[in-house]
Amino acid sequence: MSNQTETVTESPAEVVRGLYDALSKNDVPGVLAKLAPEVIVDEPTQLPYGGVHQGREVFVQSILGAMMGYANVAITAAEVFEGPADTVVGRLTGTLTAHTTGEEFPLTMVEIHQVEDGTVRKIDVYTKNPHELAAFYARAEAAGTR
């Protein structure tokens, strides 16, 4: 008998699928488990939470907190494509619904993930229409300050 336990390693695509599954369920601990402690997330600068963010907690507070602070996020589809050298491309579609106005906004994002040692180390985020998304957030915020 062996006392060794086998370690099952997820493929990079499985790691990103797990991240998207946790996001779709608003499972913050599940999201954190898939991110490296010093994850770097680069969001379009036009967005209220745009720019480069580093660290899991910063991701949750600055990005998820801002997105969910303005709107309910419903992910309707997540596609994952494994690329070379631990690179994974993800395509997310969904709907944002503003808390203040009820306005719905169709969301399409493409993300390039760098996965190492079973966690996401870096995410480059691209939205189909960042200026329109920023305008949606501005309308949602303005309605909340009346």
Judge whether residue 135 has pLDDT over 70: yes
pLDDT band at 7 (very low <50, low <70, confident <90, very high): low
Give the whole-number percent of the chain exceeding pLDDT 90. Answer: 71
Q: d(Cα 85, Cα 124) in Å, to the nearest integer?
A: 16
103 against 142, higher pLDDT: 103
pLDDT band at 8 (very low <50, low <70, confident <90, very high): low
Residue 76 · residue 92 · CB < 8 Å: no
Give the whole-number percent of the chain exceeding pLDDT 70. Answer: 93
1 against 26, higher pLDDT: 26
DSSP, res 62: I
| Nearest in space to 77 (alpha carbons), one of 107, 48, 52, 49 | 107
Judge whether residue 130 has pLDDT over 60: yes
pLDDT score of 2: 46
**pLDDT tens readout for residues 23-75:** 999 898 999 999 999 999 999 999 988 999 999 989 888 888 888 888 998 99
110 against 2, higher pLDDT: 110
Go through 86-122 and write b for each residue having 16 or more CB atoms within 10 A of its CB, e for each that does not: bebbbebebebebeeeeeebebebebebbbeebbbbb
pTM: predicted TM-score of the whole model, two decimal places: 0.88
